[in-house]
Structure 1
């Protein structure tokens, strides 16, 4: 007997699918529509959303200024191309003839603005702005006064300091540290200015014409100059081998110039100051020792006086030994030995 047909079971085994939607599917990637930028303000309206772009940075700042109430940028102003080309010579040469002519005319007008009449009018306006009158006297010219000629010796940039101060600063400088030497020099002058008046030693007098001891602290630069010049030697001893005959060395005194004398004196003072003991600790101890040695020189207590006396004594004895070995010459380029001897004795006797 054939099996019975079950219609309900056959219906359960069939899978039912929904009818597909008739709506049009949008593409996943939209075509980018190019937007043309217009330079004029009458820009045509956007036809779709893709053509509406963000505004310029200045426009965005203007919109933000309207919202926040801050200062808005001026959209009507920009950097003219003439100002850009004026700073770029190569671009100016390659610019069109019209722009170059406009740049030249602007420069000519700028030069015309600096005429005497314009400067006078500007000065009168400044007088009125200060609360004065336009008829007040006006000084047209330099902002600051012109120095009188001839210029002083200290007006030059490299010679604005006293020569003694400059020379001592260079001599106390170490390892090229000029600022440290200048700071020490300032401390030395300040110490000489605040120190009590010195008490000179009559046996070791200072230079003739020196101010009284009570006036020395009032002028620290003069104080330093008098101390250095008073102890500076007038000559140096040069040893020449074989000049005395038989291979013996002959000591020849050589006169020194002003800068050489001061250099030797400062070196002696530095040697004496380096042997002193510091009275404390800190960066200013070297300057303190140097200032104390300067005061000792003026008071005649420094050992630099003994070195100066020894050099002069050696030079005097060397002159007496030098004359028998020198040959007399009437050549103007080689002066007479007695003339050299008398000249050195004259300088040594002047002290």
Structure 2
């Protein structure tokens, strides 16, 4: 019997984080992770959540969800070769892939911010994203503009 069939049957399940018992928080936690230092990733995330709680006086989990919802793109642009030229083709993406992109963009934007500690940069970026501003929101808007501009190549 081939291994492929048995490999397809097993689905990978996402774990919950220990404090908030949420899969989305675990996804963010695993994206923060660098060089296998999970304890550092936990510290960064939970301190950022505490700062969000202090700054906004709202549930930090709701702020995180809203920020990711605001940054999640509906369309992306992928290069496709046709003949000798390359076209930027707009594609709709699945919600899970959109969440992954949103988390990646939020973390990239927070890493580029000025400041000494990652906790404050990440919490500020999340708060800005919920308000509809910030670098991650700008990245989403740029992606949507590119997709609109290249709508003529959607047939490819």
Q: What interval of TM-score do these two structures reach, taking the shorter chain for normalisation?
A: 0.7 to 0.9
How many equivalent residue pairs?
Answer: 141
Query: Is residue 147 of structure 2 the alignment partner of residue 322 of structure 1?
Result: no
Give the corresponding residue for 1:192: 52
The whole-number CA distance in structure 2 between the counterparts of 1:157 and 1:259 is: 12
2:80 to 240, 249, 259: 240
| Unmatched 5+ stretches in structure 1 | 1-155, 197-216, 327-351
1:287 to 119, 136, 147: 119
Deviation at 1:157, TM superposition (A): 9.7
After the TM superposition, which parts of structure 1 deviate over 6 Å for at least 4 consecutive aligned residues?
A: none
| 1:1-351 alignment, distance < 5 Å | 158-159=15-16, 161-196=21-56, 217-241=57-81, 243=82, 245=83, 247-278=84-115, 285-323=117-155
The root-mean-square deviation of aligned C-alpha atoms, in Å, is: 2.1
More helix by share: 2
More strand by share: 2
Per-residue CA distance 1:234-289 (angstroms, 9 max, x = gap): 12211112x2x3x11122222222221122112212222122221xx5xxx11111
Deviation at 1:218, TM superposition (A): 2.9
Deviation at 1:298, TM superposition (A): 1.8
The structure whose Rg is larger is: 1
Query: How has the CA–CA distance of structure 1 residues 271 and 158 changed in structure 2, closer, same or farther, with 3 Å as cutoff?
Result: closer
Higher relative contact order (CA 8 A, sep 6+): 2
- How does the TM-score come out when normalised to structure 1? 0.38
